[in-house]
Amino acid sequence: MAKRKRAAWIGAAWALAAGGCTTLAGLDDGYHLKEGEGGAAGSTGTLSSTSATGSMTGGGGAPPTIADMIDDMEDGDNAIHEAGGRKGYWYSFNDGTEGATQTPPAGAGADPFAMTELAPARGQSTIGACTKGSGFAEWGAAIAIDLLYVEATRMSYDGSAYRGITFWARNAAGTQDSVKVLISDKSTTAEGGHCDPEATEMGCNDNWADPISLSEQWEQHVIAFEDMKVGGWGLAPLTSTIDTTAIYSIRFQVAKDVDFDFCVDDIGFYE
C-alpha cells in the first residue's frame, strides 16, 4: 500500500497536541445537540468557495473517494450523520485566553455549534463547518467532532475498516493556513483508561496528529491513519500507530497567537 503523507487536491467547483496543555474552554455537555432538535444553520461566514478546475498538489494518483460519509453538513445542524454506528456532534473549544474570540463560541449551551452557509456554494455543497477568531495565547483553538457520544458519555468508535479520513478545506485570505488534524484513541484520551489527565507524566491529549496547509481555494485533503504521529510529550501510547479500533474524536486545531478563519466540508472515511 502506497503511503500518502498529506495529499491535497484542488477540486473542480467545489488537541490537543500543543505543549502538553490540558486546559480547555467550552468542553461541557452543553455543546451537544439536544435529542430531537436541529442545530442552528444560519451563521453566514466570511469564506467563499472557488469554482476552478484544479491541479494535483499532493502525491500521484487519483484522490480517494469517501467510502463512509461522517458528515456533509447539508442538514445544517451540529450532529454528524447517524450511520455506521456513529452518533456525535461538532463543537468549538479553545484555551480560554481572556479577551480572545472564537466563532462559533465554545461551550455554546443552548446555542449549539452553528454551521456556516457557503457563499458562493462549493458546487452542490452549500454548508460547511467553519470557525474564525484570534487572541488565543496558551495553545490555540479548535473545532472537533466526537464519533460516538451517548448519554453524555464520549465512547470509542471502531474505524479499523478504513485507511484514513478525507475532507475538503480552505482558509480566508490573510489568515493562518497551518491547521493540525488530530485524532484521539484509547491511548490519548482519558476515556480510554490509559492516560491520566491529572498527572503530567501520564498526560492525556497528546493525540495522533498530521499538519496540513490550507489555501484560499477548496482542496481535498487525505489523512492516512498510518502517517499520524503523537507529539511525544504525553504518556507513551499503547501502540506504535493509532489504534483504529478505538478512536474518539477528530479535531482541527490552530496554534496560539494567530488569526484564523477556515472551513471544513464533506468529511468521511476512505478505504
* Segment 170-202, tens digit of pLDDT: 999 999 999 999 999 999 999 999 988 876 666
Contact 193, 233 (CB under 8 A): no
Average pLDDT for the chain: 81
Residue extents of the structural domains in the chain: 7-270
More confident residue, 49 or 220: 220
* Segment 129-172, tens digit of pLDDT: 999 999 999 999 999 999 999 998 999 999 999 999 999 999 99
Lowest mean pLDDT among 4-13, 77-86, 251-260: 4-13
Q: How many helices (H) and strands (E) does the chain have?
A: 0, 16
Cell of 102: 472564537
* Segment 46-92, tens digit of pLDDT: 333 333 323 233 445 688 999 999 999 999 999 999 999 999 999 99
**Statement: residue 37 has pLDDT above 50:** no
Cell of 100: 480572545
Find the angle CA(59)-CA(61)-CA(65) to the nearest 5 degrees.
Answer: 105
pTM for this one?
0.80
What pLDDT does residue 167 have? 98
**Statement: residue 244 has pLDDT above 70:** yes
The highest-level CATH class for domain 7-270 is mainly beta
What pLDDT does residue 112 have? 87
Residue type present at position 208 = W
More confident residue, 13 or 130: 130
